[in-house]
Structure 1
Amino acid sequence: MGCMPQRRTELAAFLRSRRARITPADVGMPPGLRRRTPGLRREEVAQLAGVGVTWYTWLEQGRPINASVQVLDAVGRVLQLDVTEREHLYRLAGVPFVRQDVSDAEVVGEEVQGILDALDPLPAVVYSSRYDVQAANAAYRDIWPATTFVPRAERNVLLKLFTIPECCSSMVNSDEELPRMVGQLRAAYGRHVGEPGWETFIARLIHESPEFAQMWARGDVASPGSRLKVFRHASVGLINLTSVSLAIDGMAEHRIVVYTPADDASRAQIERLRIMEEPMIGCPAHRRKVSEIVAEREAERAAERAADRVADRVAEPVESHR
């Protein structure tokens, strides 16, 4: 808690510096007269972002106010922040950063995305140290669509494996693999103890999965390595894959994981899956078409965005009349 005032001071300075570099012409506004300082005025940023002038002024002054994801996104768009700057803004505001409106290539870089794509037809993915799916190629998305068509905040392998119904889990040898994955998570957690994003993530898994809570309580640690993973896909059946982890220069605590078919039958299963127009996910009792789930999720997100916009308008401070 002691770092909060310092973080607000840094937030205020960061916003002022970003505002100063944006001219009215950059956002399609006339230059106007008698501008004493370069860049946009506070009231112009507030107007373009759709927030109250008083609220934005308080934010830029480093006052202890709450900022939602939607409002920070709007301010970030007006100030034309890139992905790195947006993440910095979120951290200073104390809000978990979700790379939701950017492509995989923007998250990991064109070069890394190009490597993933070149590995196709082998499934390949970039995981963070807590199993966030940062980027993937088409083969990976075909086999595990549930970790790629959801919002980025939900693109986490452990979250999917521990919170879906056991009957719908695609991992056959989970008794061997899940404890090892939790061990790798704990080893990485040692470098992030006390960080809000990590603590919230661990607390969520403990709350939603008694199985994860038990494994976490053991305190085991493990390191990445080559593993045999057995999956059951709702559309084609069993697929045996060998996973290999590769470090990435310039991306600490991230790794490329490549999955190679362990036998000819698994290679044939993947080839069958790649040409299917409507693959299914889930167990025999609950399986559904991917397109149906995607459409349903899109409708849910649209409703959530509409509700958030209403809540933001209600939460804005009432400006005093002068």
Structure 2
Amino acid sequence: MGKNASHGELGQFLRARRADVTPADVGLPADGKHRRVPGLRREEVAQLASISVQYYTRVEQGRLKASLPVLIALAEVLHLDDDQRTYLLELAGREAPRRRRPKAQEVRPQTRRLLDALSSPAMVLGRRMDILAWNPLAAALLTDFSRLTDKQRNYARLVFSDSELRRRYTDWEKVAPDCVAFLRMEAARHPEDPQLSELVGELAIKDPHFRQWWAAHNVAAQTAGVKKLHHPLVGELTLDWETLVCATDPDQQLVVWTATPRTPSQESLDFLASWVHTAADPSHGPAADEITDTRPEPRGTPPF
């Protein structure tokens, strides 16, 4: 098959595949307008792949050789399986990157003991912001990680897809784009990580905010910052967070959340810690619903 013929076949293949994908499949709202084409429009594919409509149109018409990152993005948008993805790259004259699955990360027992010894919320984040380990106070602050599957146990995925956690962050509009910037940095460090590509593709399809921020190409490293939360049990919290890199695995980071001493946030965090301690071992004190809160604002019901 000659070059022009393969480019023509590429265009036909892309048109056929986007005809198979409905707006609902990729999380796009129905606009109520009559659709002249089955499946996705060109502009919708371009939007989801974070490229211009003109770029995509030229690729589909065989007038432009798409870059490898664009082809991989199109494969994610069009829900191509492995065989279809390979076929797409062959038609485009691109070599498929090796889809090596990185070795599963494990948290050292010493690090787990450190987590348990900390009196502040703390967790270990791995590649792709996977949540590898946590202490009980972190679970009480954010969500019960033990109830989640390994795939769900990803900080960025939870920030975008967990409605309760999304409401809990009063500064979600800052937290969420920071997660996207961190993932952008991860993509530079691990460009051939198939799980990272899957995560980015999933979030880009499901959330328009993610698509917008991913297209902005902002990057950031996880170092330190401030987060504001409204917790259903203890109310408003302003917490500082700090990351410490694991000496034996630079892709693991210990994230610790603390409050400024002698502030309402510290009082609230102390109260949450006492609730966790009591819930874990009732013999150490009264039941959680018997703890008296001396502050004027009434507390809510424990979320778990």
TM-score by length of 2: 0.54
TM-score by length of 1: 0.52
Taking every aligned residue pair, what percent have the same amino acid on both sides?
23
Q: 2:160 aligns with which of 151, 159, 162?
A: 162
Change (3 A) 1:94 1:184: closer
Aligned mates of 2:178, 2:143 — CA distance in 1: 23
CA shift, 1:259, in A, is 0.7
Matching residue of 1:257: 255
| Secondary structure of residue in 1 paired with 2:117 | helix
Matching residue of 2:141: 143
1:114 partner amino acid: R
Aligned mates of 1:208, 1:171 — CA distance in 2: 19
Q: Deviations over 1:244-287 (max 9, x none)?
A: 110101113111011111352112112222343479xxxxxxx9
| Secondary structure of residue in 2 paired with 1:190 | helix
Aligned mates of 2:100, 2:177 — CA distance in 1: 32
CA shift, 1:149, in A, is 2.5
CA shift, 1:137, in A, is 1.3
Say if 1:129 and 1:185, in contact at 8 Å, map to a contact too. Answer: no
Matching residue of 2:173: 175
Unaligned runs of 5+ in 1: 1-92, 100-106, 280-286, 292-322
Q: Deviations over 1:278-322 (max 9, x none)?
A: 79xxxxxxx98655xxxxxxxxxxxxxxxxxxxxxxxxxxxxxxx
Change (3 A) 1:195 1:129: closer
Matching residue of 1:224: 222
Residue 198 in 1 paired to residue 222 in 2? no
Change (3 A) 1:207 1:190: same
Q: 1:152 aligns with which of 133, 150, 153?
A: 150
Unaligned runs of 5+ in 2: 1-98, 280-287, 290-299
2:249 partner amino acid: M
CA shift, 1:167, in A, is 8.7
Change (3 A) 1:236 1:289: closer
| Secondary structure of residue in 2 paired with 1:153 | coil
Matching residue of 1:130: 128
Change (3 A) 1:257 1:166: closer
The count of corresponding residues between Structure 1 and Structure 2 is 186
**Structure 1 residues 283-294: aligned runs within 5 Å:** 290-291=303-304
Q: Deviations over 1:149-196 (max 9, x none)?
A: 211211111111111338952111122232222111101111222322
Change (3 A) 1:256 1:96: closer
**Structure 1 residues 1-322: aligned runs within 5 Å:** 107-119=106-118, 121-165=119-163, 168-263=166-261, 264-276=263-275, 277=279, 290-291=303-304
| Secondary structure of residue in 1 paired with 2:147 | coil
Say if 2:242 and 2:255, in contact at 8 Å, map to a contact too. Answer: yes
